[in-house]
A and B are shown apart, each in its own frame.
Chain A
């Protein structure tokens, strides 16, 4: 299957700082990427759908000014958690969709905000 990378895999930061997470499709072009958040023992929650060259579509309840998404190319999308707080601590996972609708997930980023 296709490969999606995510960086960093783990980040610990102080409250109030901003954290950028990168999601890359390594061997295919992804016009659409998705950003998810998963709390322990909970389901994946879709945060936003990111389309290359256009503004992201956020799910209800997700603050677009808090979670900035940029999808500047067909292989890269970034999620920036601005002014992170402890309640933002979570597992953030991106996925990229190929032309056949199949989704490939990145390995996830575990964010801990102190």
Chain B
């Protein structure tokens, strides 16, 4: 089993839709979790950290489920500009990051 797994997609949704991605991780000792966004041929940029209690930033909501070892990202009211690859990052001991392969989102008019 891979350390961090994501459905590669693509998720093809219309503008205004709500879309959710999950990311599962195998190491129960993982310590911190993040969602990054990567546009084509660009570097990843931090979208949001994921806290145990769940957190929201505008249209984006991130949740952590330690019991089932997954994190989720919910995007409400999708915009065309949300089209990108969303990378899940899990830090294990010594904060060594492990990236998922990313989930591709395409928002169409």
Contacts and interface: CB of A to CB of B under 8 A. Distances in A.
Interface of A: 1, 32, 34, 36, 42-46, 49, 91, 93, 97, 101-108, 110
A94 to B, nearest CB: 9
Contacts of A104: 46
Contacts of A103: 34, 46, 89, 97
A97 B95 contact: yes
27 contacts: A32-B95, A34-B97, A36-B99, A42-B101, A43-B87, A43-B99, A43-B100, A43-B102, A44-B87, A45-B99, A46-B96, A46-B98, A49-B96, A93-B43, A93-B44, A101-B32, A101-B91, A102-B46, A103-B46, A103-B89, A103-B97, A105-B43, A105-B44, A105-B45, A106-B43, A108-B43, A110-B41
A45 B34 CA distance: 16
Interface of B: 32, 34, 41-46, 49, 87, 89, 91, 95-102
Contacts of B98: 46
**Chain B interface, DSSP helix/strand/loop, else mixed:** strand
A91 B43 CA distance: 9
A46 B97 CA distance: 8
The 9 closest A-B pairs by CB, nearest first: A43-B101, A105-B43, A44-B99, A108-B43, A107-B43, A105-B44, A93-B43, A101-B95, A43-B99
A31 B34 CA distance: 20
Contact of A102 (B44, B49, B96): B49
A44 B99 CA distance: 6
B107 to A, nearest CB: 19
Interface centre among B95, B97, B99, B102 (most CB of A within 10 A): B97
Contacts of B45: 105
Nearest to A100: B49
B46 A1 contact: yes
A108 to B, nearest CB: 5
A46 B91 CA distance: 12
A110 to B, nearest CB: 8
